[in-house]
Structure 1
C-alpha cells in the first residue's frame, strides 16, 4: 500500500506534468492560427501585408525582450503569481479577438498574447527543473513538442470551425477555452518555485563574448524560418489556388514534423559532444524544404513543408543543447542559453516583415523562400564554428569595463 504522503506527492507530480502539457499547448495557437485565414481577415480589417506581418513580428520581439526582463519579474513575483498573471494576459488577448473591428485592435490582441507568452517561456525551465529534477531533458522535450503540436491544432481547427458556421472572430476567440482550463489547473496545482534575480555581471560578461552573439544570430536566423512559415505559408498556397483548410493542413504537417524532430534528434545526438554534423543535417533539411517551396511548390507540398518542419524543430532543440554545452557551470550555461533565445527571437521576429517587403517588391513569396536559403547558408558557417574542443577557450572570461 502506498503511503498517503507519497501518493499525494506522486499525484501532484503528475498534475504538474499535465499543467506543463496544457500550458505548452496554449503558447502558439494565437500566433499560428490566423495564418490560414489571413486572406479573409486582411480585406475585412483593411490590413496590408506589412501590418499583417506585425501579428508575428511583435509577439516574437516580445518573446525576445521577455528573456531579458522576465527573470527579474519572476524573482519579484514568484513563479506561481507570475505564471497566473501571464496566463490571464494570454486569456485576455485571446478573448478580445471576439470583438476585433480593425487591424490595430487585432495587432493589440497579438501584443497582449505575446506579453503573456514571453513570461511563461522564461519561467517554464525553472518550473520543469524544480518539479522534475531527474527528468529535465525528457520533460523539456515533451514541453517543446507541445509548443509545436499546439500551434498545429490551432491552425487546423480555425478553418474547420469557420466551415462549421462560426465567424473568424468567434473561431479565434474560442482558443481562450483551453487557456482558461490551463489557468484553472495552474491555480489548483502550481506552487511557488524559488527564482533568483539574474546575475547582471554575468550577463554583462557574456554579452562581451563574440560567441554569445554568434549563438544569438544562428538561433535568430533559424527561427526566422519558423516565423515566416507561420505567417506566410498558408497565404502562399492560397495564392496558388489552395483552399484555406488544405493550407492549414500544411501547417499541421510542418508542426508535427517539428515536434518529432525536436524530440528525436537530441536523443540520437546525445552520445556525441560534437553535434555539428547533426546541426548540419537540420540545415540540409531546411534547404531542401525552402528550395522545394520556391521551385516545385504544388506537387509535393507535404514533402517540402515536412522537410522544413523537421529541420527547424531539430535545429531549435540542438542549438539550445549546444549553447548549454558551452559552459560546465549550470548558471552560466543557463544564462547563455537565455541570452541566445532573447536576442534570437528579436531577430526571428523581423523575418515575416522582410518577407512581406520582398513579396510587395516582387509580387511573390518565392523570393522569401530563396532568401531563407541564403540565411541557411550563413547559419551553416556559424554552426561549423561550434566545435566543442574550443568551448573552454572561447568562453574564457573577458575584461569588462565598468566606466
Structure 2
C-alpha cells in the first residue's frame, strides 16, 4: 500500500476529529432525554418510582455489560467500522423505543445503552492512536462535546414535548436525528483511503493490575453519581417545588457547565505532576453540588446545579483521560477502556436504581443524599490511587 503523504495524513486527522465530535454528540441524548419527562412517562404508561428507577438504571447497566463487545468488534471489523455499525443500531433504537409500549421502551433503552457503551470503549483507543501527543486535550474536547449533547437533550426534551401537543413519544424519537448525521459523516469518512487499524489479541490480563482496578473504580463511582443526576435531578427539583420545564432546564444548565470543566480539568492536570489534585477538586465540587441541590434552600438551586456541573464535567473528563494516559499504546488503552468501562458502568447502574428504591421507601431524598455522599467519598479514594503517574501492566 502506498504510504500516506503529510497532506493526506492531515486530511485524515481532520476527518477523524470531526467524526469523533459527531459521535460524541450522540453518546448522551438517549439517556438525558428521559429524565426531564420521566414523570410524564410514568403517568402515561404508568411506571412506579421503582420502575422509573429501572428505566434510568437499565442503559447504564448495558453500558457496562456491552463494553466487552468493543475489543472483539474492533479486532474483527476495525475500530471505525465498528463505530459506524453501532451508530446505525443506536439511531434505530432511539427512534423505535417510544412507540413500542412498555416492553419496547425498556428494550430500546437497553439497546441504546449498549451501543453507547461499545462506542465509549472504542473512542479512547482511537484518540491514543491518532492523537498520541495531545490525548488529554482531545479527550477534553470530545468529552465537552458529549456534555453539550447531553445538555441540549436535557433542556429541550420537555419543551419539545409541549411543542408536540404534550406527546412524549416524538420528543424522545427526535434524538435519532443527530445519530443519522453522524452515520452519514462516518460513512463518508470510511469511503476514503483511510484504513482502520485492527487490534491484535491481548496477552497479559489487566484484571491482575491494581492500577487498572483503581481506574475502573473511579470510573464506576463517578459515573454512578453522573447517571443518578441524569435520571433523577429533574425529579428531585420537581419534588422540591420547581416547575417541570425549569427542572429540565436546571439539568441542562448543570450539564452545559460541564463543557468548560471537561476541557479545562484534564488540560490543567496535564501541566501538573499527576491528576490527584484535580481529582480531589472535582470530587469535592461534585459532592457540594449534590448536597446543595438536595438540602440547601431551593432558591439557591441554580448555584448548586452549576457547582455540580463543574465537578461532574471535570471528573468524567479526567476518568476518560486516565484511560489514555495510563496506557503506553493504543492497544492497551483500548483494553483498559474496555475493562474500566465494563466494570465501572455495571457498578454505576446501581446508583439510579438505588435512588428510586430509597425514594420510594422513605418518600424523601434525604437518605438518598447521604448515600450519594458516600459514593463521592469512594470515588475520591479510588481517584487518588488512579491519579498517580504510573502505567498499567508496568508492575
Question: Could you tell me the TM-score, scaled by structure 2's length?
Answer: 0.89
Report the equivalent of 1:271.
Answer: 271
For the 8 Å contact 1:253–1:306, the answer to whether it is kept is yes
CA distance in 2, matches of 1:387, 1:29: 29
Report the equivalent of 2:169.
Answer: 169
CA distance in 2, matches of 1:25, 1:78: 21
Deviations 1:103-151 (CA, angstroms, capped at 9, x unpaired): 2211111012122222222222343445445543333222111111101
**1:178 corresponds to 2:203:** no
CA distance in 1, matches of 2:384, 2:136: 24
Give the Å deviation of 1:303.
Answer: 1.4
CA distance in 1, matches of 2:214, 2:125: 25
Report the equivalent of 2:282.
Answer: 282
Deviations 1:76-120 (CA, angstroms, capped at 9, x unpaired): 12234322221111111111135132x221111101212222222
SS of 2:271's partner is coil
Instruction: Give the alignment of 1:121-136 within 5 angstroms.
Output: 121-136=120-135
Report the equivalent of 2:204.
Answer: 202
Give the Å deviation of 1:325.
Answer: 5.0
CA distance in 2, matches of 1:126, 1:346: 21
Report the equivalent of 2:253.
Answer: 253
Q: Which moved more, 1:42-51 or 1:352-361?
A: 42-51
Report the equivalent of 1:234.
Answer: 234
Structure possessing the higher radius of gyration over alpha carbons: 1
Report the equivalent of 1:49.
Answer: 49
Give the Å deviation of 1:374.
Answer: 1.6
Report the equivalent of 1:371.
Answer: 371
Give the Å deviation of 1:318.
Answer: 2.3
Q: Does the C-alpha gap of structure 1 residues 49 and 11 become closer, same or farther in structure 2, counting only changes over 3 Å? A: same
Give the Å deviation of 1:198.
Answer: 4.0
Q: Does the C-alpha gap of structure 1 residues 41 and 388 become closer, same or farther in structure 2, counting only changes over 3 Å? A: closer
Q: Does the C-alpha gap of structure 1 residues 380 and 235 become closer, same or farther in structure 2, counting only changes over 3 Å? A: same
CA distance in 1, matches of 2:161, 2:378: 41
SS of 1:213's partner is helix
CA distance in 2, matches of 1:83, 1:39: 33
Give the Å deviation of 1:258.
Answer: 1.7
Q: Does the C-alpha gap of structure 1 residues 226 and 48 become closer, same or farther in structure 2, counting only changes over 3 Å? A: same
Report the equivalent of 1:107.
Answer: 106
* Structure 2 unaligned residues grouped into runs of 5+: none
Give the Å deviation of 1:252.
Answer: 1.3
For the 8 Å contact 1:284–1:311, the answer to whether it is kept is yes
Tell me how many residue pairs correspond in the alignment: 387
Instruction: Give the alignment of 1:55-134 within 5 angstroms.
Output: 55-101=55-101, 103-134=102-133
Give the Å deviation of 1:25.
Answer: 0.9
Report the equivalent of 2:299.
Answer: 299
Give the Å deviation of 1:352.
Answer: 0.4
Q: Which moved more, 1:56-65 or 1:242-251?
A: 56-65
Structure 1 stretches of 4+ with a deviation exceeding 6 A read: 5-8
Question: Could you tell me the TM-score, scaled by structure 1's length?
Answer: 0.88
For the 8 Å contact 2:211–2:385, the answer to whether it is kept is no
For the 8 Å contact 1:100–1:169, the answer to whether it is kept is no
